[in-house]
């Protein structure tokens, strides 16, 4: 499979080879990029849904792409159409329908930061950074947004470990209803560093408090010691999933999620001719995060997993008695103007990252069956 990586740096040319393809840097005017068909101005921001120290601004649109052609990771793993295995785990496995699936031999053994993924479905597979795959020798999270096309050969998949203390078990992975919380997703999606991912898991958040400028706040309800106790509670395994499963964190995450989702459903129930396609999230008075999708259907699929992740972040942050303004939240709907890095698999997808001061924006464009931005993430850096 050929893969081209384009990094837009004005006034420079650089050519390097990667995965048998030519990767190069060129000025934007020499190779204009097509723009997704969805107009940015079609988004509308609603008033915030607030609970405790979190504010969630629904992003709605009267324009929706048809995303039914795409398969999500959770759907694919649950149906057996997508198989994730440890690198080096070769041989026959069976899908959900009982048919044998062959994984070709590899010359390398299992590795912490790489798995093998096979898409046997008839739809391209959508992967989001931070999605958890459970099982194998360790639980892992997807390292970067991407699309795996139909009929692709077994894909070496870049991942990050979110479970210390275990390197045994079956070679297969199962579906998970979890996306890791924003501080961990940030380190996977933007920093791409295993050490920072694990530090964020163990501390709950890598937020650097600016005490001098911050308003009065109470302590986070999920303290570092409680989080560390929760993830270490499963024998020798220190697993991210324990944050959700253990009462050692001292609070009920499920209760918090229920209250947030109930308020969100009420606030968005009267929409006419519009669908919720995303959210902008603030903690205290600071707007920190946004996830926006190409369709209401895609948002609906991910919403519960995302809401759980936002709640963990809220519980791990100090409780500031302040609500973010709608004007500040609206800033997360604009496109950044900093340096853009692109990574493209011809005819399949284009991944774009733009950084501007403390903000980072990542967009995943599907190139087939037509050009559309499937997922757009913007975040305020915490490290």
Give 273-314 pLDDT, tens digit per residue. 999 999 999 999 899 999 999 999 999 999 999 999 999 888
Kindly tell me if the per-residue pLDDT of 96 is higher than 50.
no
Q: What is the mean pLDDT of residues 16-38?
A: 38
Structure tokens at 130: 């931070």
Q: Which residue has the higher pLDDT, 115 or 295?
A: 295
CA–CA distance, 279 with 299 (Å, rounded to integer): 9
Give 249-280 pLDDT, tens digit per residue. 556 788 889 999 999 999 999 899 999 999 99
CA 354 remoteness from chain centre: 16
Q: What is the mean pLDDT of residues 99-125?
A: 70
- pLDDT tier, 204 (very low <50, low <70, confident <90, very high otherwise): low
- pLDDT tier, 92 (very low <50, low <70, confident <90, very high otherwise): very low
Q: What's residue 287's pLDDT?
A: 96
Kindly tell me if the per-residue pLDDT of 319 is higher than 80.
no
Element (H, E) at 358: none
Q: Which residue has the higher pLDDT, 320 or 190?
A: 190
Nearest-CA neighbor of 288 among 39, 44, 48, 64?
A: 48
CA–CA distance, 234 with 88 (Å, rounded to integer): 27
Kindly tell me if the per-residue pLDDT of 58 is higher than 90.
yes
CA–CA distance, 71 with 125 (Å, rounded to integer): 5
Nearest-CA neighbor of 365 among 348, 349, 344?
A: 349
CA–CA distance, 117 with 57 (Å, rounded to integer): 35
Q: Per-domain residue ranges for the chain?
A: 1-29, 71-174
pTM of the full structure: 0.78
- pLDDT tier, 189 (very low <50, low <70, confident <90, very high otherwise): confident
CA–CA distance, 227 with 276 (Å, rounded to integer): 32
Q: What's residue 327's pLDDT?
A: 93
CA–CA distance, 207 with 215 (Å, rounded to integer): 15
- Number of helices (H) and strands (E), helices first, in the chain? 8, 27
CB 373 within 8 A of CB 38: yes
Element (H, E) at 66: none
Q: Which residue has the higher pLDDT, 14 or 63?
A: 63
């Amino acid at each position: 499979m050929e893969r081209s990586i384009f990094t837009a740096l004005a006034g420079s040319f650089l050519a390097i080879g990667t995965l048998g393809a030519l990767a190069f840097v060129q000025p934007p005017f020499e190779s204009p990029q097509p723009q997704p068909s969805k107009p940015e101005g079609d988004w509308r921001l609603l008033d915030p849904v607030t609970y405790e120290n979190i504010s969630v601004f629904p992003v709605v649109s009267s324009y929706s792409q048809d995303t039914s052609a795409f398969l999500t990771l959770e759907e694919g793993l649950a149906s057996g159409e997508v198989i994730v295995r440890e690198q080096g785990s070769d041989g026959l496995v069976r899908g959900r329908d009982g048919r044998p699936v062959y994984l070709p031999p590899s010359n390398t053994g299992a590795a912490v930061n790489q798995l093998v993924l096979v898409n046997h479905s008839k739809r391209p597979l959508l992967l989001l950074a931070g999605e958890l795959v459970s099982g194998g020798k360790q639980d892992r999270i997807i390292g970067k947004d991407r699309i795996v096309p139909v009929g692709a050969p077994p894909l070496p998949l870049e991942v990050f470990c979110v479970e210390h203390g275990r390197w045994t078990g079956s070679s297969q992975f199962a579906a998970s209803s979890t996306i890791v919380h924003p501080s961990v997703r940030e380190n996977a999606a933007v920093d791409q560093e295993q050490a920072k991912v694990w530090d964020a898991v163990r501390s709950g958040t890598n937020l650097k408090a600016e005490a001098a400028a911050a308003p009065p706040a109470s302590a986070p309800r999920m303290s570092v010691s409680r989080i560390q106790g929760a993830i270490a509670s499963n024998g020798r395994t220190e697993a991210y999933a324990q944050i959700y499963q253990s009462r050692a964190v001292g609070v009920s995450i499920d209760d918090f999620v229920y209250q947030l989702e109930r308020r969100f459903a009420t606030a968005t129930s009267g929409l006419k001719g519009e669908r919720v396609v995303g959210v902008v999230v603030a903690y205290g008075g600071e707007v920190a995060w946004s996830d926006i999708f190409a369709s209401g259907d895609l948002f609906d699929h991910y919403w519960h997993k995302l809401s759980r992740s936002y709640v963990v972040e809220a519980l791990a942050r100090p409780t500031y008695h302040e609500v973010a303004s709608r004007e500040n939240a609206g800033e997360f709907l604009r496109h950044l103007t900093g340096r853009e890095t692109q990574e493209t698999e011809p005819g399949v997808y284009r991944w774009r990252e733009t950084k501007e001061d403390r903000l980072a924006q990542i967009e995943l464009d599907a190139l087939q069956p037509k050009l559309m931005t499937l997922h757009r993430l913007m975040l305020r850096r915490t490290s």
